[in-house]
Amino acid sequence: MSTVFAILLVFVGCCSNVVSLELLVREFPGCGNIVTCAQFVFIALEGLMFEAGCGRKKPVIPIRNYAIMVSMFFTVSVVNNYALNFNIAMPLHMIFRSGSLIANMVLGVVILKKRYSPSKYLSIALVSCGIFICTVMSAKQVNVASEGSEEQGFYPVIRWLVGIAMLTFALLMSARMGIFQETLYKKYGKHSKEALFYNHFLPLPGFLLLYTDIYNHCVHFSQSPPVLVPLIKRSVPMMWIYLLINVITQYVCIRGVFILTTECASLTVTLVVTLRKFLSLIFSIIYFQNPFTPLHWVGTALVFVGTLLYTEVWGSLRAHPDGTKKAK
């Protein structure tokens, strides 16, 4: 029953989070920093009260290791959100981040000297091809859009290329962080909830570097059209409501994934998260009418087929719920 509840949390929380993020980004494309800051503050406060015992509980994993992990996590979060300022459409943003599993595999081969089966390498080819197709098609759309805009010439394309470079950097950094976490968990054991807290608590001072941008967006959010909230019988600026929804759904999403990691095999968790990403992408395209050509669909299919091939989901149809093969 708890597994079903966790899957429900993941789909409802994560999909709702994507919708609220797109509502925010459509109004203020550069609001990524204030969104990230709000998410970090909320999750850090929750963890401080219920995980760290208001600072009384000593962490199992040394703080110095969390400091390294946090620097990676903070960088990935900020760069991913800031890339939306550079002509990166939300569907492309989602597809690009779907390659994190494959990026982790590539760095595993390079850093940890791991070796994989031929099917794993085929999944790399499929995902890489899918991302390449979607990237090329999005580049063409940037060119077409720039023809009728005030920003003529190569400037929109250069901005788009900067955005792609940022997403690539964040993708590789996220994979490196995953490998670092893996080595820590092997040494100290799995403490996912503790890691969740410190990953959100320790980076908070870093947002002081982004103070000006966050403050400016606070002003913009406060100037958005007011909406009457029945529960408090007061009018609240619409963007603050969207931000509150985004923060809550982000927390629900993360909690759902955490419960899944304790209740299910990693294969099941990966499959659920992959299907959630695909559902979010479909909803984003249909509801927000994002431009998506047939080749975009081909690229998307390659990304998700490659991801599912990596998780060996086809073979799991003949496996037990814990992911182990049945005896012959």
Percent of the chain with pLDDT over 70: 81
The contacts of residue 18 (CB under 8 Å, 6+ apart) are: 90, 94, 280, 283, 284
The contacts of residue 164 (CB under 8 Å, 6+ apart) are: 88, 96, 135
Adjacent-strand bridge partners of 319 = 325
pLDDT in tens, 281-290: 777 777 777 6
- Pick 1 or 76 by higher pLDDT: 76
Cα 123 from Cα 126, distance rounded (Å): 5
Adjacent-strand bridge partners of 237 = 226
pLDDT of residue 106: 78
pLDDT of residue 257: 80
What pTM was computed for the model? 0.70
Structure tokens at 62: 């040394």
For the chain, the average pLDDT equals 79
Does residue 322 surpass a pLDDT of 80? Answer: no
Within a 10 A sphere around the Cβ of 124, how many other Cβ atoms? 20
pLDDT of residue 315: 61
Amino acid at position 288, single letter: F
pLDDT in tens, 150-168: 555 567 778 888 888 888 8
Mean pLDDT of 16-35: 87
Mean pLDDT of 12-26: 86
pLDDT in tens, 102-131: 777 778 788 878 787 888 788 778 877 887
The pLDDT confidence band at residue 328, using thresholds 50, 70 and 90, is very low
pLDDT of residue 211: 92
| Burial grade of 93 (CB within 10 A; 0-12, 13-18, 19 or more) | buried
| Burial grade of 50 (CB within 10 A; 0-12, 13-18, 19 or more) | exposed
pLDDT in tens, 170-228: 888 888 887 887 788 788 887 878 888 888 899 899 889 889 999 999 999 999 999 98
Residue closest to 300 by CA, chosen among 104, 125, 94:
94
Confirm if 277 and 68 have CB atoms less than 8 A apart.
no
| Burial grade of 177 (CB within 10 A; 0-12, 13-18, 19 or more) | buried
Adjacent-strand bridge partners of 325 = 319
pLDDT of residue 327: 43
pLDDT of residue 212: 94
Outline where the chain has alpha helix (H): 2-27, 32-50, 63-82, 90-97, 100-111, 118-147, 155-188, 192-201, 211-222, 238-263, 266-288, 294-310, 313-316
pLDDT of residue 37: 92
Residue ranges covered by each domain of the chain: 2-316
Region of residue 54 (phi > 0: left; psi between -120 and 50: alpha; otherwise: beta): left
